[in-house]
Structure 1
Amino acid sequence: MAFDLHLHSSRWLDHVRRTVDATPGIVPVIKGNGYGLGRDLLAGEARALDLDTVAVGTYDEVPEALARFDGDVMVLTPWRPFTSDVVHDPRVIHTVGRVDDVARLAADHPGTRIVLEGETSMARHGLDRHELAPAVAALGDLTLEGFAIHLPMAGGNLTEAEEWAAVLETSQLDTLTLYVSHLTPAELVTLRERRPHLSVRPRIGTALWLGDLGALDVRATVLDRHPVVRGERIGYRQRPMPRDGHVLVIAGGTSHGVGLEAPRAVASPVERGKSLAKGGLAAAGLALSPFTIAGKQRWFAEPPHMQASMVFLPADVTPPEVGETVPVAVRFTIASFDRILRV
């Protein structure tokens, strides 16, 4: 198989370095599949940039980060007493978002480095602002490294960030370090101007590693091609072909993230119309593939297989040769590649 990411190293690194230089206090986020690039590669780049802290998603990702990065490793998933794979290491900074958990961690592991997290409008994890005083009382010998807020991705987060910054400055928390997620560069500048006493540290993943998609070129190899006529049945599900053409078998299937999609937020009338249209096509057994041939995305001949996909190409389009590659549009946060080729 050959479902490959061609990484244009100099262009990609230029973007990463520009972002780091323009973002004081940045904490690179290295989690999940490493934004398609792999956590090992990202940790190595963070080390090469001589940064002091990276953030990972879960405790399962901590040992690898400790091995490949020399600085501190912050865990974004809050600590829980029932978590079995917690890594207690002097370089690990734990996130805590419940008063009971603060007390339990203080009792069981005094000296642990932590950040307290506030419950933003995300309503996901964190302390209500009224719980900050009880959290301070429960800290014991824990080492407080800062306060963190994880904001929505809908935009316009400056007001909420300012509200939490004011809460931090007036609280009894013995820290002036504020870790933030999902503020724009302009919002960061404004927050720092309005709250000069705080050390604002943005945690950034997508905009850092995937901020220049032109440096990332995904290519899939054509593994086979077959002429078909209208009505001919093909594939696992023996679907009839809609007209004459070719069926291409192309590297890349569900194990690579092809054909997988998370639910999307539908807010505007246009988005609702698109969702309705896609739903109607899906009901008719039609789905657009991510593979582009002759300048157009082509239809799946049937749902993607585990490691390859079958794509229909009309007769008026010259099919690529077996062994040629075609471009692929992927969602990098769920993509898995056979190879990452640095070019």
Structure 2
Amino acid sequence: MTFELHVDTERWRRHLTATAARLPGLVPVIKGNGYGFGRERLAAESTALGADTVAVGVYAEVPEALATFGGDVMVLGPWRPFLDGSAVEQALADPRVVHTVGRVEDVTALARVRPGARVVVEGETSMARHGLDRHELAAAVAALDDLQVEGFAAHLPMTGSNLAEAESWAAALEASQLETSTFFVSHLGPSELDQLRERRPGLTVRPRVGTSLWLGDLGALDVRARVLDVHRVSRGERVGYRQRPMPRDGYLLVISGGTSHGVGLEAPRAGVGVVQRGKTFAKGSLEAAGLALSPFTVDGRQRWFAEPPHMHASQVLLPASAAAPAVGDAVSCAVRYTTATFDRVVLD
């Protein structure tokens, strides 16, 4: 069974190079599943782009990053005193690792556990995720004497313009006693970064970028699944694990790609606007009736699942009026790349 990501390598790398050129000081983010490409591959691409630092999501990802990337490795997730395990121990022992601290008590604890550790101090933005609020900066400065401050970080929301909030944190950094002029930011566009640099010339602004770097040109990516079996079915015939009756005459396609690949899995979506909420309601109503649209496109149309996808394959309905594919044919599949796992990534 083969569920593959095919990459138009020239086009993809052209996008990577152009993005890096637009974003001076770029810190590529290579967390999670490596945006579908795999973290090791993205580490190699980061090296080719000339990056001196990459960012990973959590400490479990640090050992691989240290082994595959020659520069510094920043951990986006905050260090906490209760974190343990070999990956954390390796990160604390390696001078290439830059830790994130977002609580005054963590600053004190890290200085005790690993004096001289390199850190980025994070501010609590409107994301309300991690970080110090503005009133805690002074207390943090007093506790940072035994640590090496590499910069200040602001992880911003993904909706709307973030320039005003970024500039507010830049002003707070400049007014603080933190011994750094490096400002790491997430989720600012190129024009916003240019404006921030223009307004705050005393700061070195470094964007941390994942999605818009690796997945910024989806036209360079092509997900292909293979048709494993084609069965003629009649209306009312029962199929699959759950023995559901077929709603019409046609074909039952068995296609590579299942839950282990991320097929049929999705993160909750924010229902913003009446239209989007209406679509969500309609989709939920169909699923309640046992109907779910698959991500597979066959004969020019997205087709329905016969039942929820299996671990490595999916059963998909095709009406008798459609042209049935042959066993071995490739069909396209729409995926959420941050939750997708491929049997093979092919650089064409």
TM-score, normalised via structure 1 length: 0.99
Alignment correspondent of 2:10: 10
| Conserved? CA contact 1:220–1:251, under 8 Å | yes
| Letter matched to residue 95 of structure 1 | T
Residue 314 of structure 1: aligned partner: 319
| 1:210-229 pair list within 5 angstroms | 210-229=215-234
Q: Which runs of 5+ in 1 are unaligned?
A: none
Partner of 2:28: 28
1:167 equivalenced with 2:167 (yes/no): no
Deviations, residues 288-323 of structure 1 (Å, cap 9, x unaligned): 000001111000011000000000000000110000
Q: CA deviation at 1:142?
A: 0.3
2:273 match? 268
Are 2:250 and 1:250 equivalent residues in the alignment?
A: no
Q: What are the Cα deviations for residues 22-70 of structure 1, in whole angstroms up to 9, with x where unaligned? A: 1100000000000000000000111122211000001111111111111
Q: In structure 1, how many angstroms separate the alpha carbons of the residues matched to 2:347 and 2:71?
A: 26
Deviations 1:97-128 (A, max 9, x none): 00000011112211100000000000000001
After TM superposition, list the pairs within 5 Å mapping 1:132-143 onto structure 2. Answer: 132-143=137-148
Q: State, as a whole percentage, how many aligned pairs show the same letter.
A: 69
Counterparts of 2:114 and 2:220, CA distance in 1: 44
Report the Cα distance in structure 2 between the residues aligned to 1:166 and 1:242, rounded to whole angstroms. Answer: 62
State the distance in 2 between where 1:318 and 1:208 align: 38
Q: Mapping of 1:315-330 within 5 angstroms?
A: 315-330=320-335
Q: Which of 91, 96, 104 lines up with 1:91 in the alignment?
A: 96
SS at match of 2:303: strand
Partner of residue 194 from structure 1, selected from 195, 199, 214? 199
Counterpart-to-counterpart distance in 2, 1:18 and 1:159: 26
Q: Which runs of 5+ in 2 are unaligned?
A: none
**Counterparts of residues 50-89 of structure 1 (less than 5 Å):** 50-85=50-85, 86=88, 87-88=91-92, 89=94
Farther off after superposition, 83-92 or 128-137: 83-92
Deviation at 1:7, TM superposition (A): 1.1
Q: 1:186 Cα shift? A: 1.3
Which residue matches 1:278?
A: 283
Once the two structures are overlaid, the 10-residue window that deviates more, 29-38 or 46-55, is: 46-55
> Hey, what's the Cα distance between the residues in 2 that align with 1:61 and 1:98?
22
Q: In structure 2, give the amino acid aligned to 1:258.
A: V
Between Structure 1 and Structure 2, how many residues are aligned? 343
CA distance in 2, matches of 1:235, 1:77: 42
Name 1:232's counterpart in structure 2. 237
Q: Structure 2 counterpart of 1:198, which letter?
A: L
Q: Aligned letter for 2:14?
A: D
Cα root mean square deviation, aligned: 0.7
Paired with 1:115 and 1:155, the residues of 2 have a C-alpha distance of 26
Q: Which amino acid aligns with 2:45?
A: E
Q: Shift of the alpha carbon at 1:8?
A: 1.1
Q: Tell me the distance in 2 between the aligned counterparts of 1:54 and 1:114.
A: 14
Question: Deviation at 1:255?
Answer: 0.2
Structure 2 distance, partners of 1:2, 1:72, is 35
Counterparts of 1:250 and 1:158, CA distance in 2: 45
Runs of 4+ in 1 over 4 A off after TM superposition: none
Query: C-alpha displacement at 1:140, in angstroms?
Result: 2.2
Instruction: Provide the rounded CA distance (Å) in 2 between the counterparts of 1:67 and 1:220.
Output: 32
SS of the residue 1:310 aligns to: strand
Q: Which amino acid aligns with 1:63?
A: P
Distance in 1 between residues matched to 2:190 and 2:282, nearest whole Å: 36
Whole-angstrom distance in 1 between the partners of 2:21 and 2:161: 24
**Are 1:36 and 1:337, in contact at CA under 8 Å, matched by a contact in 2?**
yes
Query: In 1, Cα distance between the equivalents of 2:46 and 2:190?
Result: 20
Separation in structure 2 between the aligned mates of residue 28 and residue 204 of structure 1, nearest angstrom: 5
Query: Which residue of the partner structure matches residue 339 of structure 1?
Result: 344
Deviation of the 1:184 alpha carbon: 1.1
| Letter in structure 1 aligned against 2:346 | L
Read off the aligned partner of 2:50 and give its amino acid letter. Answer: D
- Partner deviation per Cα, 1:260-286 (whole Å, 9 max, x = no partner): 011111121111101110011011110
For the residue of structure 2 that corresponds to 1:201, the secondary structure is strand
CA distance in 1, matches of 2:113, 2:218: 45
**Mapped partners of 2:28, 2:48: distance in 1:** 13
| Mapped partners of 1:184, 1:20: distance in 2 | 12
Give the corresponding residue for 1:48: 48
Residues 98 and 126 of structure 1 are in contact (CA less than 8 Å); yes or no, is this contact kept in structure 2? yes
Using the alignment, how far apart are the partners of 1:3 and 1:98 within structure 2?
43
In 2: Cα distance, 1:22 partner to 1:261 partner = 31
